[in-house]
Amino acid sequence: MSYWIVKTEPSTYSWKDLESKVEDTWDGVRNFQARNNLNQMKQGDFVLLYHSGAEKAIVGLAQVSQEAFPDPQDPAWVAVKLKPVRALATPLTLHQMKEEPELAGISLLKQSRLSVHALSEEAYTLICKLSS
């Protein structure tokens, strides 16, 4: 099992948008590294949803329900399907993540413009603990 963070601007697509559906297509990714990460996602992997923009916080937990397939908007790219699991009891802010030495190496803090990030099991576990 692998762990991921996906980023979205909540005014474009929010946790509530995903939560209102049984599952939804995560598409529109137009970065080669992010596409490679989408291609590595496996059914059942856990995905943390991060709101960028003004909020800057991890707000929800989803699961991959369908592995990579051609993006419906542009088949040269890929998409996955995600299903919501639960909102985090306490969103974990970017500031809080930066304050945690154990999270210093996560790619979200190093490559802030990337929209799909791989995450170690240890970092995932700590983020879940800090947000409960």
Q: What is the pLDDT of residues 54-64, one digit of tens each?
A: 999 999 999 99
Alpha-carbon span 114 to 15, nearest angstrom: 18
3-8/46-51 β-pairing: parallel
Q: Indicate the pLDDT class of residue 72, thresholds 50, 70 and 90.
A: very high
Q: φ and ψ at 103, to 5 degrees? A: -100, 0
Q: How many CA atoms lie within 13 A of 103 on its CB side?
A: 19
Q: pTM for the whole thing?
A: 0.96
Residue 112 has pLDDT above 90, yes or no: no
For the domain spanning 3-126, the CATH number is 3.10.590.10
The percent of the chain in helix, strand and coil, each rounded to the nearest 5, is: 30, 40, 30
Residue 14 has pLDDT above 90, yes or no: yes
Which two tokens mark 39?
């291609």
Do 81 and 39 touch, CB atoms closer than 8 A? no
Look-up: residue for tokens 């992997």?
45
Which run of H or E residues covers position 39? helix 32-40
Q: Indicate the pLDDT class of residue 124, thresholds 50, 70 and 90.
A: very high
Secondary structure of residue 22 in the 3-state scheme: coil
Q: Indicate the pLDDT class of residue 98, thresholds 50, 70 and 90.
A: very high
Domain ranges, ordered by start, for the chain = 3-126
Alpha-carbon span 111 to 7, nearest angstrom: 12
Residue 132 has pLDDT above 90, yes or no: no
Average pLDDT over residues 59-74: 98
